[in-house]
Structure 1
Amino acid sequence: MSFVDIINSPTTDHTPAPEPPLEILYRDDRYIAIHKPSGLLVHRSPIDKRETRFAIQLLRDQIGQHVYPAHRIDRPTSGILLFGLDDEAGTALSILFQERKVQKTYQAVVRGHIPTSGTIDSPLHKYEDLDGHKKSAETQDAHTDFKRLAISELPYPTERYATSRFSLVELFPHTGRRHQIRRHLAHIRYPIVGDVRHGCNKTNKLARENLDIHRLLLAATQVEFQHPFQDKLVQITCQPEDSFLSALSRTELATT
């Protein structure tokens, strides 16, 4: 093989491609917020001991400094995730979350035509294990307000019905219980599409096979809080990621 053939031959380097940068939604001298994609863990967890990608590490490497998570969102949920840029800042914002002083807004696609608005006031059992499988007898108060944004009906038979109905709903959790929104919507029989833990298996299968939807359709779209160190109100918003928007189009729930 000539020298020219060698330099033009396919590379055998198996170094993984660099991670795409996380979308930064907000940053000041104490805080940073990213748009966490669906499927990314916030930090190392018993949920998947083999996973090597975490939001904390990716963001740390991206901005070149340590970050301190102020809260968490579920792995399959996408949307706004907040970090302190120092330990004091992370702790201060965590306290605001614990004291229910952070206003949170989510969007979800659910099975059925949910009422136009309402409040879900239903206590939830605590989890005894870290991966959220074993429930304890102890319950915690949990409150979620919701507002319907759009509805659709598609010609796919499901269970005993000739069609499939979906709703796009905006949600405002006032407490921060584990899987609160997912469990509350399942409790009132409007489970989130793509929820393999608390949702409807038949609806999820229909969504995969007929609509090419392979994720939990839940996204954190807005947070608002009083800055712990500055005299200002912080409001951070983001639209759902592309996979969520594509699902809205396929379910004919896309709003203008």
Structure 2
Amino acid sequence: MPAFSQTNAECATEPATALSTELTILYQDAYLVAVDKPAGMLVHRSFLDRHETRFVMQTLRDQIGQHVFPVHRLDRPTSGVLLFALSSEVARLLSEQNAQQHWFKGYLAVVRGYVEQAGTLDYPLKEQLDKLGDKYADPDKAAQQAITDYRPLATVELPIPVSRYPAARYSLVALSPRTGRKHQLRRHLAHLRHPIVGDTSHGDGKHNRLFREHLHCHRMLLVAKELQFNHPITGEVINIRCALDELQPLFQQLGWSVDESMIQYAFEQLAKEQA
């Protein structure tokens, strides 16, 4: 159990108003651009949240001075690698790769409880429908195949009572979804009874509150750490990674020495499972 104080670690807050005016560009060439999406920022304008004024697409367009085309999505509370094409044709090629499951996506998450061994969850998910955007969709559509590989990296027990338990246990896990269902990682980890800390839709409110009140962490602890794919024009293998600078103070507070070599080894093992 680490030496624990309640004042040192902080996470970024979720509201987009607290975010800087420019996005961190992780990769850019004549065809593609990838950014480190902040937690709490919507990818594009949505009628589901009419009050937002900042979006990744519009911010990036203004920043680089040209239109960008989305090829995949990250949930609003998720941070990390987000890829765009610089033309509709390249967007089509990348979207096809993604749909055919030719990408490797590596995530990190802090979850409730001890995840003691690696595994693969093959658990179909019903499509989640928005009341407005999907009002004409079939609510009785069969569940879709959803597969997630996971691997534990670190655990910690904090001397803070939660509910009837005298202490709180958490794990840092590496994740890789083979499929791309809506909220797949969040729903799969909840199914495993290891919900992601900070997830207000599928998580555990008591543990979310613990991280807010004791660790000053107000975001969902899910990061799209790595994206690997074949360049749609050159065929070159592209591997894009984001830094964990924002979360390192929290990891240190939890007693986790998380470095790139540890993360990359875990992702390599997950990639082997998918080969």
Does TM-score exceed 0.5, indicating one fold?
A: yes
1:86: which partner in 2? 87
Map Cα deviations across residues 55-111 of structure 1 (whole Å, 9 max, x no partner). 000000000000001100000000000000111111211111111111100000001
**Mapping of residues 117-128 of structure 1, within 5 Å:** 117-128=118-129
1:253: which partner in 2? 256
The aligned amino acid for 2:204 is C
Change (3 A) 1:211 1:131: farther
8 A Cα contact 1:186 1:192, kept in partner: yes
Structure 1 position 50 matched with structure 2 position 51: yes
Aligned partners of 1:214 and 1:59: how far apart in 2?
25
Aligned partners of 2:218 and 2:206: how far apart in 1?
13
8 A Cα contact 2:41 2:55, kept in partner: yes
Higher CA-based Rg: 1
2:152: which partner in 1? 148
Please report how far the alpha carbon of residue 131 of structure 1 lies from its aligned counterpart in structure 2 after TM superposition.
7.5
Aligned partners of 2:191 and 2:130: how far apart in 1?
21
8 A Cα contact 1:110 1:169, kept in partner: yes
1:180: which partner in 2? 184
Map Cα deviations across residues 37-56 of structure 1 (whole Å, 9 max, x no partner). 00110001133111110000
Aligned partners of 2:86 and 2:133: how far apart in 1?
28
Q: What's the TM-score, normalizing by structure 1?
A: 0.88
Aligned partners of 1:19 and 1:221: how far apart in 2?
20
1:5: which partner in 2? none
Please report how far the alpha carbon of residue 116 of structure 1 lies from its aligned counterpart in structure 2 after TM superposition.
2.1
In structure 2, stretches of 5+ residues that fail to align are: 1-16, 260-275
- Aligned residues between the structures: 240
Aligned partners of 1:95 and 1:206: how far apart in 2?
41
Which SS does the other structure have where 2:127 is aligned? Answer: strand
In structure 1, stretches of 5+ residues that fail to align are: 1-15
Please report how far the alpha carbon of residue 130 of structure 1 lies from its aligned counterpart in structure 2 after TM superposition.
6.8
Please report how far the alpha carbon of residue 237 of structure 1 lies from its aligned counterpart in structure 2 after TM superposition.
1.1
Change (3 A) 1:131 1:108: farther
Moved more, 70-79 or 44-53: 44-53
Structure 1 position 97 matched with structure 2 position 101: no
- Aligned residues with identical type, % of pairs: 47
8 A Cα contact 1:221 1:237, kept in partner: yes
Structure 1 position 167 matched with structure 2 position 171: yes
Aligned partners of 1:144 and 1:26: how far apart in 2?
26
Give the number of the structure whose residues are more often strand, by fraction. 1
Structure 1 position 197 matched with structure 2 position 201: yes
